[in-house]
Structure 1
Amino acid sequence: MPPRRSHKKSRAGCRRCKARKIKCDEVHPRCGNCAKHGVACDFERPDIVDALPSAETPRPPTSASTSNYGSPSTITLPPTPSVPSSALVPLYRNPETLPLTSNSKGGRMMELKLLHHYTTITCETLAISSPVSERIWRDTVPNLAFTGADFLADALLAVSALHLRYRSPHDQDLVRASHAYMASTLSEYGASLNKGINESNAEALFLTAALIAFQSTASRIFTRDDSGDLKERSDGYVLPLSWFHSFQGVKAIVASSWQWLRNSGIVVPIIESQPALNLDLSGQKANFFSHLLDGLEDEVFFDEDPASQHLTHQAYQHAVAVLDWAHKIPHTGAPLVFLATVSRRFVEMLESRRPRALAILASYFGLLKCLDTVWWLKGVARREVMGIVSLFDPDDEEWWPRLQWPLRIALYEGEVIPADIWGADWAAETALLNQANQTGGFVSHIELLSQMFSSMQSMPDTLDVVTHQTIMAKSR
């Protein structure tokens, strides 16, 4: 018998590798296994030692981890938290007083200018491929604002100022107006939320939350112009996490006030005007973005506990399913649904800059290339994809190849992206959309779920119900 080959046993490995009973390369400040899977390592973060599982923590059986992923009817998505009013304030870190008082001639002229621009031009840019929603934003929303909803009036003036600022980027009066009116919106909006949502203010709060989300998204185009955001240029690319937080805020309003919104002649048409959100969560089809889930089980294995593993798996699977759906009908505005439908867990993984979450986000921004003609999305695909790619090492053989599609799309020059580059035939888009819109209304689905969960008391649990169902999409 040949002599047994000696080997060096790892005795100083990181806590996570020991818990998983795998060999640690003991590289500092972050071991190879932790770096590969984008998780924290106690070599670089000694403070996480107590949070990591012990070496005796058993790994859950594979069948238990995957048994609930068979069909959409069995999915229980991670809960999305409520958005407190204080969380909205950082959008404008230095709230200013209004640039001109409403009693002055200059103040009146500014408000008239902003209101006129909103009702004639800006309102048409808030809805994509939806004449019904466009009429509501043009006619109904201003009328509702005139009934005493000051925060809604300030919100539409803020959005109008931002649009005018896009046309005249060096107009400092518009810069101050955009920031000041939104700061006023956030203050009054937060105060109203603290007093409670009721039948009389539910519609106004919903519309204001939607305008706040729009403002948060559109403000990104001015990142390099605002002196307050110079940090982004000096410290490198900063993820647009405020986009997700603001759209999750809209979802919070829907969840907590659906008993009144279900009968709204304003909110329901906005919801129903969007394409049906039809997701394949079975994982059995070879969808376009399925490669983003390759190796998922290995990454999930590195999460701290079985509950976290379950949430991570679901968060990734659902995010990729939304990408696959939006990839087929991009011109309808479907990619925007991604911001509100992803789970809290997915946002947490973005905040931790996990490679898989970043690659999914890059593909999402690639989808926005189709909406590059919309003023508040112009240049977003190229800027954000290139920013995310800068966070990766070109020699990374695992993730660099998965970034090639968003890179090709973001850098493509031309109005129509060929099917062989996009990966889908846009000629079939209309047929797909018509078929999707025949699958049933989103409102009826929310109604059913609200009855099932009417006994829930906490906001996080209630919001779990609407992780799929957002104000921007219908569900089958």
Structure 2
Amino acid sequence: MPPRRSHKKSRAGCRRCKVRKIKCDEVHPRCGNCVKHGVPCDFEAPEVADELAPVATPVSVSTVPSTPIPMQPPIPVAAGRLSPGLEPITPALLSQPTNLTRPNTSNQADRLMELRLMHQYTNVTAKTLLNNSPEVDEVWQRVVPNMAFEGRQYLADAILSVAALHLRSENPQDKALVRASHAYTASTLAEYCASLEKGINAENAEALFLTATLIAFQSVASRIFAKDDTEADPDDPSSRYALPLPWFHAFQGVKTIVASSWLWIRSSSIVKAVIDSQPGLQLNLNPSGVGSFFGHLLEGLDEELATEDPHMMQTTGRSYTHAVCVLNWAHRSTFPAASLSFPSTVARRYVELVEAKRPRALAILACFFALLKRMDDVWWLQDVSRREVMGLVGLFESGSKWWRHLEWPIRIALWDGTTIPPDIWGHEFDAAAPAAPQGFVSHIELMADLMGQAPDQLASAFNPIGEPPPPLTAESPD
């Protein structure tokens, strides 16, 4: 192996490069990074330093924890606490900026920006959240803003944050939108976490559920703007790709809120409309049987488990198997958004395996992102398939035995065209099949009844420690 190239740290770099923790070339009057991204540099404009100076906020988290999905203090609820293994969303888990304050609406520019964002949300963005019925359109477009106007600051900021990200996707050079999206994201998380600490109850359960859902959209959309120019190891190109762990934290955060507040939201027509707008899982519990398109991802699993810690063998095996079951179901579903069930339903152990960069876990994840190719026309998922699949592929060594398992996701991710032929996709959809079979609410109701409707027990049933959640509907194995 050739010796590592020396790396000289920048000591006199511009403030923007220091804030972003990237190497500054120290070129005056404007450094190369600021020129590249078309942003002001404090070498030429000293006032930029004031703009970037950190401001104290209610949440003082600035780094991502090094341990996988760290345990957080339980969320107090009226009838119990969250079960271990289910964590609330926090700024640390989502890697969101927290050194920005909410815009001051007494300032005319901020006030006009807020009006612009609310107009964008109600007229455009609310219609892009993968709704599939007029009832759900009504919820996101009218009911949710009205609920925010009743004093739910975290919900209002979540609305404005998603709208700002949407506008940023269309106007990437608009610096005011960049600042607004960062500020409203930070404010959303700060207010949301503060509300969770006070406890979930009948009065705020609906709003917290809707906020958690918008945070999930927010977390996914933020990856559009993730730069791969962080300070990386020059001898390791793979270090320039950040694993998409915020996907799991955000979507599983929604599941956490549902589990801990179901006693109060089970009778909500608003929540029912949103949950039932997604297809219910119908898993074939034989992931390697006839018709299992992704069964090959489990080849050699027994050999891998033989090297596993004996206490983790069963949990690891089940987490891989369940993840492949979800892939098989989403691959055959006529509803493209069915794929989004993956990050919210996989086991906590599987997320740990992804964070550990286990080849099998990464190959499964690449197949999940390939499934999202069918939604390339959705702004917050645009190009996500190509970007994430190729980023994950870059983590595999040349000559890896896993390359043959990556052929399908690579082919799909790089497909150039609006329609993927059945022989390339690997399945021919039945045009007469219903677009989105329902079933999520009925499954939660069944679990709530079986668990005696206790929030902590229901939360445990959603995702017991290290175990994949039970399937919503199990088909007979082939």
Query: When the two structures are superposed, what TM-score results if normalisation uses the length of structure 1?
Result: 0.76
Greater shift in the superposed pair: 82-91 or 381-390: 82-91
| 1:251 is aligned to 2:249 | no
What code does the residue aligned with 1:383 have?
R
Structural mapping, 1:33-432, within 5 Å: 81-84=85-88, 86=90, 88=92, 91-99=95-103, 101-224=104-227, 229=230, 235-283=239-287, 284-305=289-310, 307-329=311-333, 331-396=335-400, 398-426=401-429, 428-431=430-433
User: Residues of 2 paired with 1:184 and 1:337: CA distance?
Assistant: 27
> Which of 423, 445, 448 is the matching residue for 2:446?
448
CA distance in 2, matches of 1:429, 1:395: 40
Give the 3-state SS of the residue equivalent to 2:416 in structure 1. Answer: coil
CA distance in structure 2 between the aligned counterparts of 1:88 and 1:430, rounded to whole angstroms: 45
Q: Could you tell me how far 1:469 is from its partner in structure 2?
A: 7.6
Q: Deviations over 1:66-88 (max 9, x none)?
A: xxxxxxxxxxxxx9822245454
Contact 1:276/1:475, CA 8 A, preserved across alignment: no
**AA of the residue aligned to 2:463:** D
Identity between Structure 1 and Structure 2 (%): 49
Q: Give, as a single letter, the amino acid of the residue that structure 2 aligns with 1:313.
A: G
Deviation at 1:160, TM superposition (A): 0.4
State the secondary structure of the residue aligned to 1:166: helix
Aligned residue type for 1:461: S
1:445 & 1:475 partners in 2: Cα distance? 12
Shift of 1:92: 2.0
Structure 1 residues 221 and 339: CA distance shift in structure 2, 3 A: same
Q: Is the 8 Å Cα contact of residues 80 and 463 (structure 1) preserved in structure 2?
A: no
| Cα pair distance change 1:474/1:260, threshold 3 Å | farther
Structure 2 counterpart of 1:134, which letter?
A: D
Measured in 2, the distance between the counterparts of 1:310 and 1:430 equals: 40
Shift of 1:456: 7.1
Q: Alignment partner of 1:431: what SS?
A: coil
Residues 85 and 193 of structure 1 are in contact (CA less than 8 Å); yes or no, is this contact kept in structure 2?
no
Alpha carbons of 1:191 and 1:341: their partners in 2 closer, same or farther (altered >3 Å)? same
Say if 1:367 and 1:381, in contact at 8 Å, map to a contact too: yes
Secondary structure in 2 aligned to 1:304?
coil
Cα distance in 1, alignment partners of residues 304 and 169 from structure 2: 42
Q: Partners in 2 of 1:94 and 1:234 — Cα distance?
A: 27
Distance in 1 (alpha carbons) for counterparts of 2:111 and 2:93: 26
Correspondence for 2:61: none
Q: Secondary structure at 1:322's aligned position in 2?
A: helix
Give the 3-state SS of the residue equivalent to 1:245 in structure 2: helix
Higher helix share: 1
For this pair of structures, how many residues does the alignment match? 386
Q: Deviation digits for residues 101-141 of structure 1, max 9, x if unmatched?
A: 11122222111110000000000111243433222110110
For residue 197 of structure 1, report the CA deviation from its aligned partner: 0.4
Letter in 1 for 2:279: P
Answer yes or no: is the 8 Å Cα contact 2:319–2:468 preserved in 1: no
How far residue 282 of structure 1 moved from its aligned partner, in angstroms, is 2.8
CA distance in 1, matches of 2:100, 2:94: 13
CA contact 1:80–1:467 (8 Å) conserved in 2: no
Taking the aligned partners of 1:433 and 1:331, their CA distance within structure 2 comes to: 5
Q: Which has the larger Rg? A: 1
Q: Report how far residue 394 of structure 1 moved.
A: 3.4
Tell me: CA distance 1:272–1:475, structure 2 relative to 1, closer, same or farther (3 Å).
farther
Q: Which runs of 5+ in 1 are unaligned?
A: 1-78
Unmatched segments (≥5 aa) in structure 2: 1-82
Deviation at 1:395, TM superposition (A): 1.2
Report the CA distance between 1:234 and its aligned residue. 8.7
Q: Which moved more, 1:102-111 or 1:357-366?
A: 102-111
In the superposition, relative to structure 1, how do residues 329 and 366 fare at CA in structure 2: closer, same or farther (>3 Å)? same
Task: Report the Cα distance in structure 2 between the residues aligned to 1:287 and 1:210, rounded to whole angstroms.
Answer: 31
Match of 2:3 in 1: none
Q: CA deviation at 1:407?
A: 0.7
TM-score w.r.t. length of structure 2: 0.75
SS in 1 for 2:283: coil
Going from structure 1 to structure 2, the CA distance change for 1:116 and 1:331 (only over 3 Å counts) comes to: same
TM-superposed deviation, 1:475: 8.7
Post-superposition CA distance 1:253-292 (Å, at most 9, x none): 0000001111011110111122221001134434111111
**1:431: Cα distance to partner?**
1.1
